[in-house]
Amino acid sequence: LSEKKVQVVFVLGGPGSGKGTQCANIVQHFGYTHLSAGDLLRAETRSGSENGAMIQNMMNEGKIVPSEMTIKLLERAMLESGNDKFLIDGFPRNEENRAAFERVTQIEPEFILFFDCPEEEMERRLLSRNQGREDDNIETIRKRFKAFVESSISVVEYYNSKGKLRKIDAGKPVDEVFESVKAVFSATKE
Ligand code: UP5
Ligand code: MG
């Protein structure tokens, strides 16, 4: 990976802020491959791998899985895709994730898309999602919010201090949010 010229955009935001929804739109317009760290971890729990049960337990508690596991899955998915432009959704979630990814892959993200959304709105969205996600119950949702505030916000602040944060008001309807997203990607193409 380090030999290839790889472009990475981290897509961050609280649980239910719309990361997955907007990434699907970005893929259609800007030629990126979408890699959701959470989706990769969920696939790993279904694969029956030795770490599957541990990952599942951590996700049901809203805890952040050790970086080595997440990074291994992300690296594999990047290599398998054959693409060189990636949206990495829902990662890095804490300082340790961030530093480990940089150290292991030597990749510096182009910028960070940050979906800023009020917690009441995220809660409403998650409770009505209905896609069978085991962590979409009110107890786990509260734990996910807590982990976001306690661990993930510091990563957002880190990139803000480096001038790499592109903050989006994500509390609006999907197509209005995408208008703001498009403006960010169009601006960086020039
Ligand atoms: N929706 C979306 N946008 C909307 C809008 N503008 N207006 C109205 N409704 C909107 O959207 C959520 C729901 O809202 C959907 O029904 C959608 O239609 C609607 P979605 O796009 O799915 O939001 P997203 O931000 O992707 O929410 P998600 O629940 O996936 O976020 P999380 O960050 O909680 O979940 P993730 O899968 O990233 O992680 C899950 C767990 O995995 C973590 O809690 C953690 O335990 C573990 N994990 C790690 O340990 N390490 C990692 O690196 C990544 C994950
Ligand atoms: Mg998601």
| Ligand 1 binding pocket includes 109 (Cβ within 6 Å) | no
Let me know: does 62 contact 93? Beta carbons within 8 Å.
Answer: no
Q: What is the pLDDT of residues 82-136, one digit of tens each?
A: 999 999 999 999 999 999 999 999 999 999 999 999 999 999 999 999 999 999 9
What's residue 4's pLDDT?
75
What's residue 116's pLDDT?
98
Let me know: does 93 contact 15? Beta carbons within 8 Å.
Answer: no
Q: What is the pLDDT of residues 129-170, one digit of tens each?
A: 999 999 999 999 999 999 999 999 999 999 999 999 999 999
d(CA 18, CA 177) in angstroms, rounded, equals 9
Q: Which residues of 22-45 are buried (b: 16+ CB within 10 A; e: fewer)?
A: bbebbeeebebbbbbbbebbbebb
- How do strand 85-89 and strand 165-169 relate by DSSP bridges? unpaired
Position in ligand 1 atom list of the atom nearest CA 133 = 29
d(CA 146, CA 40) in angstroms, rounded, equals 22
Let me know: does 31 contact 135? Beta carbons within 8 Å.
Answer: no
What's residue 100's pLDDT?
98
Let me know: does 159 contact 92? Beta carbons within 8 Å.
Answer: no
DSSP category for residue 148: I
What's residue 188's pLDDT?
79
Q: What is the pLDDT of residues 8-51, one digit of tens each?
A: 999 999 999 999 999 999 999 999 999 999 999 999 999 989 99
**Is-above-0.95 flag for pTM?**
yes
What's residue 60's pLDDT?
97
| Ligand 1 binding pocket includes 104 (Cβ within 6 Å) | no
Closest alpha carbon to 41 in 13, 19, 64, 25: 64
What's residue 101's pLDDT?
98
Tokens at residue 146, please? 């807590």
Backbone angles phi, psi at 75, to 5 degrees: -60, -45
Q: Is the ipTM of this complex over 0.95?
A: yes
| Ligand 1 binding pocket includes 16 (Cβ within 6 Å) | yes
Check whether 176 has a pLDDT greater than 90: yes
